[in-house]
Structure 1
Amino acid sequence: MDNFILNRIEEVKKNSFNINIGDIFSRAWDIFSATAFYVILGLILPSIIAWVINFILGLFISIPSFVVTDTDDFSNLSAQILTPIALFGMGLSFFINAALAPITVSILTIAKKYDEHRNPDFNDLFIHYKDGKFGSIFLAYIAIQIITVIATAFCVIPGVIFLVTSLFIFPFIVFSNLSVSEAIKSSFSVLWKNFGQSFLFCLASIGIFIIGGLACLVGLLVAIPLIYIGIYVFYKDVIGFEGGSNEIDQLGNTNDYQSNY
C-alpha cells in the first residue's frame, strides 16, 4: 500500500468525511452524459458475451429448467439442481461472470479518464485485461458474492452492512493497487467511519435503480452505469488521487477534450 493511500485512509479513519449525495450524482450525470456510449457498452457487453458462452455450453451441458406447480416439484427441482453436471454448469457460469467483471469495472476507469480531460475509447473497456488488474478483480468479484451470500444467510443486517461498506473495493483495486484483502479491509474501515452517509448513498442508488427498472427496464442501461460513476465520484471525494493521474492514462486516446469542469 503506497504512502498516499495509507495516509488518506488514516485521515478518514481519524476525521471521518462528509459528502453531498445530490452533488455526487449531479457530477456523475455530467460524466455519464459525455461517456454514455462506452459505459452502456461496458454494461451490456459482458451480458452478451456471457449469453453466447452459456448458449454454446448449453449445447453440451444441460442446466435444469423447471416450472414449479406443486410441492412435489420442489423436491424434483432440487434433485435436478444437485446433479454433478448441473452444479458444474452453474459453477462455470459463475466463473464466466467473474472473468467478465473487468469489463463492467472499466466504467470506473472510463469515468476517471473523462474526468481528467481525456477521451475514452473502445479499448478502455478491456483495460483491466492489460494492466495486471484482472486477477484482483476476478478474485474480488468472487469474494464479494460469497461474503454477501454468507452475511445475508446469517441475518439481513450483516448483508446490508457489507453491501454498504463494500462500495470502494473495486475502486481501491483499480486506482490504488491494493490487494483484494487490503481493498476489502480498507473499504470497510473508510465507509464504516461515516456509515450513515454511505448508507444514504446506497439508498439513493437503489432509488435510481428502481426508477430505471420502472422505465420499461431500458432505464437500467442508464441507471446502472450512473451508479458505477456515482461510486467513482464518491471515491474521488473521499480518497482522491495522487498527482491526478495513474497508469490508465497511458492507454487509449490521449487527446484532450473541451470540458465545462
Structure 2
Amino acid sequence: MTENQLKSKIERSSAPDFGDILSKSFELFKKSWEQTLYHALVTVAVVLPVIIITYIPYVLFIFYLSSVENAGHYNEFNYMDQHDPELVIPMLIVYFLIVFLVILLVQAIAYGIIAHYFKVLKKIDTGSLEETGGYFSCLKGNYMKLFVMSLATFGISILATLLCFFPIIYVMVPLQLIVVFFAFNPGLSVSSVIKMSFKLGNKYWLTIFGLIIISSMIAQIGILLCFVGLFFTAYFVHIPMYYVYKDTIGFEDPTDKNLLETDL
C-alpha cells in the first residue's frame, strides 16, 4: 500500500479489541509454535556468534590489564602514565564505534527475520497461498533500508531517553509497530514506515501499550523452563502486533475479510 492508502485506513479504522486480540494471539500461537521456535533459534544463531566475536577484544583487554596488575606494574594512579592515553583512548573509541555499528547491522538482520515471521503468521492465519520465502528473504534488496530503520529506531530511543523516562515509554508503542509495517509494505520508505507506525501507535496507544506489556510478560514465561522454553515464547510478543495491524489496516489481498469490511 502507499502512504496515503495507509493513512486513510488508519483514519477510518476502528479501535482494536484488547481481549479479542489476546485471545486470537493465543490461538495463532498454538498453530504457529513451530515457526515461532524456528525464527527464535535463527535469530539466536545470528546474534550469539556476533556478540561473542564482539566481546573477544574486550575480554582480551581485561585479561591484559589483569596480567599487568598481577605483575606489579599497574595501579589506579599510574596506569595512564605507563600507557599513553593518546594511543589507548583512540583505540577504545574505535572499538566502541565498531561495536555500535555491529549492533545496528545485527539488529537489521533481526528485523528481517521478524518481518519474515509476520509473513508466516499471515499465511497460517489467513490460509494464504502466498510464498513466504526463507528466513532471510526479507533482507534481499532491503538490507540498507533495514539498516537505516535500525539506526532510526536507535536514534529515536536515545532521544526519548534523554528527554526523561516517560518519552521512552511513549515511543515504545510506535517502535513496536515498525517491523510489521515494513513486512507488509516493503515498498515504503523508512520515513513513511516510521510515520505510519507513529500514526497508528498514537491513535490506539493505550490498547497497544497494554498488549505489549501483557505479551512481553507471557513471552518471559519460558524462563521458568530453565530458559529453554524462552525459545518457544520469545516471539509471542509479535503476534498481538500482527493482529493490531490486521484488525486496523488489513491486507491488500482481496480475499481478506478485514480488508473487505474496511472498504465497505
Answer whether contact 1:40 1:221 (CA < 8 A) is retained: yes
**TM-score, structure 1 normalization:** 0.73
2:159 to 150, 153, 157: 150
Select between 176-185 and 111-120 the one with higher mean Cα deviation: 111-120
Question: Residue 30 of structure 1 aligns with which residue?
Answer: 30
2:169 maps to a residue whose letter is: V
Answer whether contact 2:212 2:237 (CA < 8 A) is retained: no
Distance 1:174 1:241 in 2: 11
Q: Which aligned pairs between 1:63-102 and structure 2 lie closer than 5 A?
A: 83-101=92-110, 102=112
1:203 maps to a residue whose letter is: I
The Cα shift of 1:164 comes to 1.5
Unaligned runs of at least 5 residues, structure 1:
246-261
Deviations 1:80-138, CA, capped at 9 Å, x for gaps: 787233223322322331342212432222222333436899952011122x3322222
Answer whether contact 1:213 1:220 (CA < 8 A) is retained: yes
Tell me whether 1:18 sits opposite 2:27 in the alignment: no
Unaligned runs of at least 5 residues, structure 2:
67-75, 256-264
Q: Is the alpha carbon distance of 1:53 and 1:125 closer, same or farther for their aligned partners in structure 2, counting shifts above 3 Å?
A: farther
Higher helix share: 2
1:168 to 158, 177, 180: 177
Question: Residue 135 of structure 1 aligns with which residue?
Answer: 144
When Rg is computed on C-alpha atoms for both structures, the one with the higher figure is 2
Q: Is the alpha carbon distance of 1:136 and 1:103 closer, same or farther for their aligned partners in structure 2, counting shifts above 3 Å?
A: same
| Cα RMSD (Å) | 3.6
Instruction: State the number of aligned residues.
Output: 234
Question: Residue 7 of structure 1 aligns with which residue?
Answer: 8
Distance 1:64 1:85 in 2: 17
**TM-score, structure 2 normalization:** 0.72
Distance 2:118 2:108 in 1: 17
Counterpart secondary structure, 2:181? helix
The Cα shift of 1:160 comes to 0.4
Q: Is the alpha carbon distance of 1:229 and 1:64 closer, same or farther for their aligned partners in structure 2, counting shifts above 3 Å?
A: farther
